[in-house]
């Protein structure tokens, strides 16, 4: 992989990781257009590892929140008085809500990296989940806030999050934000919950790939492209920088806007992918 391709893919990852439009779907599409085998071991490892940049951006952006929640969780473990703090419950919620996606990721790894990475699957998921997002976004009773988060809410959001790796066009943030809206949370709260829930999931996924598939970056199996560490590091750093500004923009946007624009974009993107596949411009 040359550095220009690495920068392009880093920008794509940074912009789309936390927007409800499917970062994996966008990466697969752009990788395909750039001529890479999206089911190859090398590009699969690259796609997972550069997400570390985006998640580092989220950790930096929400560092004060993370420290506050972790501190409250430990206070609650060591003393009964600390358990009255909503952040203690939120901490448990993030832990419980992260379990479903971890289970799905481990049990279905081969399926996720194989048949389910098809552009037909991505297009279908983009289109069908747009309906779910549109329905969730039309709710009028969006009044619940961060202090209302309970274990049941977190588990439901976590179950929605677990759909994202199975069907990459759904979008992890799209699934979790939709779940938050269905549970009656404000758009800003649902979006913040999506970030909080995504941090453990993405850190675990990035660490797992780094530990198990890092060798594929430089010595991919026969028939797959060896990406190289220089492009991988460049793409990761670019995704970190771009994702930081993407997070700031999204939180500002949802404070006064609905998700209609994202829904329309997803439908248009799905239609474009289907047309390209039908015309044979790209292969699934």
Identify which has the larger pLDDT, 278 or 118. 278
Q: Report residue 283's pLDDT band, with 50, 70 and 90 as the boundaries.
A: confident
Identify which has the larger pLDDT, 135 or 47. 135
| Counted domains in the chain | 1
Residue 139: closest CA among 189, 173, 195: 189
Strand partners, 144: 185
Tens-place pLDDT, residues 49-62: 888 899 899 999 99
Tens-place pLDDT, residues 26-48: 888 888 888 887 777 788 888 88
Domain range for 178 is 3-279
| Mean predicted confidence (pLDDT) in 72-98 | 89
User: Does residue 132 sit within a domain?
Assistant: yes
User: Does residue 284 sit within a domain?
Assistant: no
For 6, the token pair is 């690495």
User: Does residue 189 sit within a domain?
Assistant: yes
Alpha-carbon gap, residue 108 to 121, rounded angstroms:
16
Number of other residues whose CB lies within 10 A of the CB of residue 118: 17
Please compute Rg for the chain using Cα positions: 19
Instruction: Work out the angle at residue 145's Cα, subtended by the Cα atoms of residues 78 and 159, and round it to the nearest 5 degrees.
Output: 75
Inter-residue contact 101 to 164 (CB < 8 Å): yes
Residue 222's pLDDT is 52
What pTM, to 2 d.p., does this model score?
0.86
User: Does residue 29 sit within a domain?
Assistant: yes
| Terminal-residue alpha carbon distance, the chain | 21
Alpha-carbon gap, residue 52 to 62, rounded angstroms:
15
Instruction: Give the chain's mean pLDDT.
Output: 87
| Mean predicted confidence (pLDDT) in 114-120 | 73
For 211, the token pair is 């530990």
User: Does residue 127 sit within a domain?
Assistant: yes
Residue 46's pLDDT is 86
User: Does residue 156 sit within a domain?
Assistant: yes
Asked if residue 202 has pLDDT above 90, the reply is: no
Asked if residue 237 has pLDDT above 80, the reply is: yes
The b/e string for 219-242 (b: 16+ C-beta within 10 A; e otherwise) is: ebeeebbbbbeebbbbbbbbbbeb
For 174, the token pair is 């799209």
């Amino acid at each position: 992989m040359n550095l220009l391709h690495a920068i392009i893919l880093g920008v794509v990852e940074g912009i789309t990781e936390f927007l409800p439009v499917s970062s994996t779907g966008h990466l697969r599409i752009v990788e395909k257009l750039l001529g890479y085998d999206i089911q190859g071991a090398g590009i699969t490892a690259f796609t997972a590892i550069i997400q570390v940049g985006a998640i580092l951006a989220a950790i930096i952006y929400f560092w004060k929140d993370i420290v506050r929640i972790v501190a409250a969780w430990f206070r609650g473990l060591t003393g009964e008085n600390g358990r009255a703090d909503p952040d203690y419950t939120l901490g448990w919620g993030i832990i419980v809500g992260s379990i479903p996606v971890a289970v799905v990721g481990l049990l279905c790894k081969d399926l996720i990296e194989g048949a389910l990475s098809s552009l037909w699957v991505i297009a279908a998921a983009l289109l069908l989940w747009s309906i779910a997002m549109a329905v969730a976004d039309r709710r009028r009773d969006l009044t619940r806030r961060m202090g209302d988060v309970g274990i049941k809410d977190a588990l439901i959001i976590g179950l929605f999050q677990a759909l994202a790796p199975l069907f990459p066009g759904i979008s992890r943030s799209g699934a979790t934000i939709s779940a938050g809206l269905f549970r009656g949370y404000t758009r800003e709260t649902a979006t913040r919950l999506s970030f909080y829930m995504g941090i453990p999931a993405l850190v675990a996924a990035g660490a797992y790939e780094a530990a198990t598939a890092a060798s594929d970056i430089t010595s991919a199996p026969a028939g797959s492209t060896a990406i190289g560490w220089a492009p991988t590091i460049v793409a990761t750093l670019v995704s970190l920088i771009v994702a930081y500004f993407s997070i700031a923009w999204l939180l500002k946007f949802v404070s006064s806007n609905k998700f209609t624009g994202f829904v329309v974009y997803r439908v248009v993107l799905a239609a474009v992918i289907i047309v390209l596949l039908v015309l044979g411009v790209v292969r699934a």
